[in-house]
Amino acid sequence: MTAVFVNGNPESAAIWDPLLAELNRTDVLRLSPPGFGASIPAGFDCTVAGYRDWLVGELVALGEPVDLVGHDVGGSTVVGVAMTRPDLLRTWASDSVGVFDPEYVWHGLAREWQTSGVGEKSIADWMGGTADERVERMVAVGLSRAVATQLAPAQGPEMGHAILAFYRSAAQPTMAELGRNLPAAAQRPGLAIIGTEDSFVGSVEMRRRSAARAGARVGTLDGLNHYWMVQDPVLSARVLTSFWAEYD
């Protein structure tokens, strides 16, 4: 049984390093969505549906059900797979179930990226500058300097393209409409990871509501933010390990 970890924006697979160092399992695979730590193949559609289909293809190639874990863009993509191809999963875990709630409003940066002209300028500022400047921007939003230093090389124009394409495809009511299918995710055991200080993926109430609709249990990480896997990898590993142990 393989545990597959899918990162988000503006990241690479290095975001998982602190957490994976605490996990007591060696059957681990990290997958970076195209543009988010991996090259964008020619003709790839950096949209909500495009990323879901990409991840489905990767899991089909593995040839066995997996324990699938996703964060941010990777988190919503994991939920997309759970809703459409539960046969590829043993379990799934995501910190982004709240974005499928009908009352969810995208955070301020996402709304900038979804706005023509404003988004291009925002991305030029956010993805530009030196590696040191990008590190400082990530530290300012809650990442440790050590991890931010590992992520900075993955950022640039290609990631900027992926960000604009993804968030524009995800503008509401797209996610709310996809969320109507949340009950289908209950076909496999799910875990909604809720960092109580995470302000990017909806209120705690929205996340709990979406988890209930998806038949998922809740793993509450009190006091942790969007980067829970970096902020407290020991607790994060404990929550995941306890969840998986129920299905061993």
**134 located within any domain:** no
Q: Please give the model's pTM, rounded to 2 decimal places.
A: 0.97
User: 103 is in which domain, residue-wise?
Assistant: 2-107+174-245
Q: Are 111 and 86 in contact (CB under 8 A)?
A: no
Query: Cβ atoms within 10 A of the Cβ of 148, count?
Result: 24
**47 located within any domain:** yes
Q: Report the alpha-carbon distance of residue 178 to residue 98 in Å, rounded.
A: 12
Of the candidates 3, 64, 77, the residue with the CA atom closest to the CA atom of residue 36: 77
Tell whether the model's pLDDT for residue 24 goes beyond 90. no
Of the candidates 172, 205, 198, the residue with the CA atom closest to the CA atom of residue 105: 172
Q: Please give the full DSSP string across 96-120, using - where no structure is assigned.
A: -GGGGSTT----HHHHHHTSTTHHH
**6 located within any domain:** yes
Tell whether the model's pLDDT for residue 248 goes beyond 90. no
Domain count, the chain: 1
**37 located within any domain:** yes
**94 located within any domain:** yes
**138 located within any domain:** no
**75 located within any domain:** yes
Q: Report the alpha-carbon distance of residue 71 to residue 11 in Å, rounded.
A: 10
- DSSP state, residue 172: T
Please report the pLDDT score of residue 180 as a whole number.
98
List the CATH number of the domain containing 93. 3.40.50.1820
Q: What does the pLDDT look like over 197-215, one tens digit per residue?
A: 999 999 999 999 999 999 9
Q: What does the pLDDT look like over 28-83, one tens digit per residue?
A: 999 999 999 999 999 999 999 999 999 999 999 999 999 999 999 999 999 999 99
**180 located within any domain:** yes
Cis omega (within 30 of 0) on the bond before 10? yes
